[in-house]
Amino acid sequence: MNGVWAMKNLLLFLGSCAVVSGFAWYFWRLGQSALTAWIALLSLLANLFVLKQIELFGFNATASDIFSVGNLLALNLLQEKYGRQATQHAIWASLSCLLFFVIISQIHLLYEPSLHDQSQTAYQLLLTASPRTMLASLVTFLIVDQFDSRAYRTFRQRLPNISMIWISGATMCLSQLLDTVLFSLLGLYGIVGALIEIILISCLIKLITIANIMPWSYISQRIFKKHAV
């Protein structure tokens, strides 16, 4: 990849961090139901955009890491303001949306396209996934979100004077490490080579993503917290 393309990807990545962070706090301002819907939407986007491979910081990465990290940020915001029960509700609502998406997308592919249709091939490329991959994604999502919820509550109770942004950053790091290892073992083991290298690079990209979200989250907090409902 030449320097221009590399810079373009970097700028898009930084912009995505800003947008995801800003909208997380915006939906936090709108209330519990809006933030829950945002969490479900990010879960769907993370699973849909994972197929696109990009080069970032000289490494091969997926275009969906920002949505996985954003999902955990929103989950922590929800727990901070509305408590654990609201967080559990959001996790199960998001899982239900993911399950619905998996089922309905496979039904969608079964429709016979008309002679005038030009989209079937694209839909097949995007929506056709192995049962193992789909199951690995659903299981990983549930385990990681539950882990993040418990980790955030534990850290918050033991470190009440620390800003929630720093607590959230710490739990997101741990959760994304778990996410990478768990999905790689469940969905990729035995299929791809150099699995350890894939895990290490993926973890590095996610940690960089979290590091870039933190300042944007701080700025968004300053903007929206003054106008919270």
Q: Please tell me whether residue 55 adopts helix, strand or coil conformation.
A: strand
In a domain, 207, yes or no: yes
3-state secondary structure 63-130: CCHHHHHHHHHHHHHHHHHHCHHHHHHHHHHHHHHHHHHHHHHHHHHHCCCCCCCCCHHHHHHHHCCC
pLDDT at site 229: 47
Number of domains in the chain: 1
In a domain, 57, yes or no: yes
85 vs 3: CA distance, rounded Å:
48
In a domain, 114, yes or no: no
Q: How deeply is 27 buried, as exposed, middle or buried, from its count of CB atoms within 10 A (0-12, 13-18, 19+)?
A: buried
Q: For the chain, give me the number of helices (H) and strands (E)?
A: 8, 2
In a domain, 52, yes or no: yes
User: Low-confidence residues of the chain, pLDDT below 50?
Assistant: 229
pLDDT at site 131: 64
Domain extent for 199: 3-109+119-227
In a domain, 222, yes or no: yes
CATH, residue 73: 1.10.1760
pLDDT at site 36: 94
- Would you tell me how many other CB atoms lie within 10 Å of the CB of residue 169? 19
In a domain, 29, yes or no: yes
Half-sphere exposure of 22 (CA within 13 A, CB side): 7
CB 202 within 8 A of CB 180: yes
Q: What is the per-residue pLDDT across 175-192, written as a single tens digit (0 to 9) for each?
A: 999 988 898 888 777 766
pLDDT at site 124: 85
105 vs 107: CA distance, rounded Å:
5
pLDDT at site 163: 86
In a domain, 146, yes or no: yes
